[in-house]
């Protein structure tokens, strides 16, 4: 009987030992969000790189910026808190086309003419990006809604023109290889029923989980309104709340 009890106790001790070892190897997954609220916004309500810093960081990501002092213009990324949804024209390029934004800080993307501009995780790390929230820039949205001297009114005079404006979100691994693309329509007038036509006017979550683990991402635009020099639609997109998984070993 004593021999049985000793064997039983030894068996329990071994089981507890391996359970402890297994527990130390468990992984803990945390979902982090880059919401840009850690950025200091100037009194103007936006930052466009005029300080010549060339970039800004938020959370675990870096966002490049190129500012031209001669033209007071920028490309790649800036950030803002503005949401004027009524004023047309490039002077309102720093507003998100969401009247309910209420001072929330967000980033804007405008492409460089010299090539893609990437927003990337620091230190060549790769993470599973779960989602991102996108919305139209007010300059782009009002241009599509009403037309302007450079761009057509989406739908045309009859409302039947099959116009569209989209952005592709492209993911890259740490080696710089493209690993996937997610397509998102910022405006779509291709429906048979014109009542279904839309211009995105609120923050919309876009699922990026199909990209797998990425180190950097970029945006590329497409539009039905194209001229001799490329896309006529103002090429802007507003972005916020980049959600990604961080996996670490348990203790």
Give the model's confidence band at 28: pLDDT under 50 very low, under 70 low, under 90 confident, else very high: confident
| Cα–Cα dist 235/212, whole Å | 26
pLDDT at residue 248, as a whole number = 75
pLDDT score recorded for residue 12: 46
Q: What is the pLDDT of residues 69-115, one digit of tens each?
A: 999 999 999 999 999 999 999 999 999 999 999 999 999 999 998 88
pLDDT in tens, 176-198: 999 999 999 999 999 999 999 99
Mean pLDDT, the chain, rounded, equals 91
The mean pLDDT value for 134-161 works out to: 97
Q: How far is CA 90 from CA 86, 102, 138, 150, in A?
A: 12, 21, 9, 11
Q: How far is Cα 123 from Cα 57, in angstroms, rounded to an integer?
A: 13
Residues 27-249: name the CATH superfamily. Answer: Protein of unknown function DUF4465 (2.60.120.1350)
Name which of 160, 167, 221 is nearest 189 in CA terms.
160
**Please, what is the end-to-end C-alpha distance for the chain in angstroms?**
38
How is 25-72 classified by DSSP, letter by letter?
T-EEEEEEEE-STTSPPPTTSEE-STT---EEEETTEEEEEEEETTTT
Mean pLDDT, rounded, for 51-65: 97
- pLDDT reported for residue 27: 82
pLDDT of res. 26: 65
Given this model, what pLDDT does residue 3 score? 45
What sign has the CA pseudo-torsion 53, 114, 119, 200?
positive
Residue 251: predicted pLDDT: 55
CB of 243 closer than 8 Å to CB of 149: no
Task: Give yes or no for residue 19 having a pLDDT over 80.
Answer: no
The pLDDT assigned to 52 comes to: 96
């Amino acid at each position: 009987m004593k021999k049985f009890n000793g064997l039983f106790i030894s068996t329990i001790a071994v089981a507890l030992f391996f359970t402890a070892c297994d527990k130390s190897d468990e992984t803990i997954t945390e979902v982090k969000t880059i919401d840009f609220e850690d950025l200091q916004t100037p009194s103007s309500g936006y930052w466009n790189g005029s300080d010549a810093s060339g970039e800004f960081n938020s959370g675990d990501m870096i966002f490049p910026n190129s500012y031209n002092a001669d033209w007071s213009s920028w490309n790649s990324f800036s950030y803002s808190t503005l949401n004027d949804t009524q004023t047309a024209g490039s002077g309102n390029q720093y507003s998100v086309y969401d009247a309910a934004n209420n001072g929330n800080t967000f980033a804007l993307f405008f492409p460089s003419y010299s090539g893609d501009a990437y927003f990337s995780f620091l230190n060549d790390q790769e993470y599973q990006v779960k989602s991102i929230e996108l919305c139209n820039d007010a300059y782009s949205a009002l241009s599509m809604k009403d037309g302007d001297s450079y761009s057509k009114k989406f739908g045309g005079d009859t409302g039947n023109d099959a116009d569209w404006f989209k952005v592709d979100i492209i993911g890259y691994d740490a080696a710089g290889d493209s690993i996937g693309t997610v397509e998102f329509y910022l405006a779509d007038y291709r429906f048979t029923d014109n009542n279904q036509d839309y211009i995105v006017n609120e923050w919309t979550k876009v699922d990026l989980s199909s990209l797998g683990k990425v180190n950097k991402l970029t945006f590329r635009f497409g539009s039905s309104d194209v001229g001799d020099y490329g896309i006529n639609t103002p090429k802007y997109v507003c972005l916020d709340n980049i959600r990604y998984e961080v996996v670490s070993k348990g203790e």
